[in-house]
Amino acid sequence: MQLALPSDSSRRRLVIAGAALIGASLFATNPARPTLPEVQHRAVQLTAGEETWSQVVAESETNLQTIEGEAATANSDLSSAFSTEFGGFGNQITSDFADFETGVQQAISGGWYGDDDGYVFGLFQGSLAGPNGIETGSTLQEISTALDQGNLFNAFSYFDTFSLEAFDHIVQPVIEPFLTDTSDSGVTSLPIPGELLQLATNVYDQFLSYDNVVTLGNAGLAPVLSAAFALTRDLDTIGTEFSSGDYTQGLSDLSNLSSDVTGALLNGFVQTNPVDGDSAPFTGLLNTGSVLYELLVDGPTQLATALGESTASASAESVSTALPDLFTGLF
């Protein structure tokens, strides 16, 4: 026996009846109560179901392009900060190594002249300019001559003077990068370990703060809250449309519910405070203030600042100043 299929008009009545049942169930589970403040999605969506998939994709691409541009700037500043900070260490080590080589050469066949010790020749030979003109000599020869004369005191004096000068010009350049040095004028220069410790302190102070913890918490919770607000707002609207008999608009909004919620998850949600009219933007996954922005833009910017590079700019501003508290204006 062959079953008769319902006619087109019968199918339409079944769809309308089903929609009416859905609307009635939504209305039954959502009795009269104070609703959330009037909200709008990204300042262009006024009712449920208005954000299509093409709009979601277009806005997501725009947000990604914005993050890409600001991330390029932030990482360029970070690279410059790394080059400046750690390049200085390399220059310091290179300079000290050159001083060490010069000191060894002077100790072998050169020497030093100073007001305190006078002429101190190299071990084997040396020609030094002083107040008496250029003098030539050898520390080993001076020691040998003193010993030949039986003058142990002078022999030791030559050895002692040479050893102190050699220490200042050979050993000092090797250990100087690792020891704090205070000049006669009272200026203290930090050694490489001291600068690294100061750098670690700067990074710690820059990242491990209560404001940053709040910012990260906001960035992590905001996309979920954005999607939840869009979902509950649209369900309220759809339920109202079905209960009022506007099935056409209700079905249309229901079909666009997924794109609307996805758009809020990716690109954020704007809630308007009915008291003062201010808006508290809930960020999504892709826009400014999101976790992605925090990792690619704000994090490198803060690290560059900790390294001593000034990277303040309007386009790479700290998220903590741009992202309001999530719960501002909710109640």
Q: Using one digit for the tens of pLDDT, what is the confidence trace for 275-321?
A: 666 666 788 888 888 888 888 888 888 888 888 743 333 333 333 33
Domain range list for the chain: 28-82+204-322, 93-187
Mean pLDDT of the 143-158 span: 91
Sign of the dihedral defined by the CA atoms of residues 36, 37, 38, 44, in that order: negative
With a pLDDT cut of 90, the percent of the chain lying above it is 8
CA–CA separation, 279 and 29 (whole Å): 29
Mean pLDDT of the chain: 74
Structure confidence by residue, pLDDT tens digits, 179-228: 776 666 666 666 788 788 888 888 888 778 788 788 888 888 888 888 98
CA 314 and chain centroid, separation: 15
Is 83's pLDDT higher than 50? yes
Contact yes or no for 270/40 (Cβ under 8 A): yes
Other Cβ atoms closer than 10 A to 2? 4
CB-based contacts of 161, cutoff 8 Å, min separation 6: 117, 120
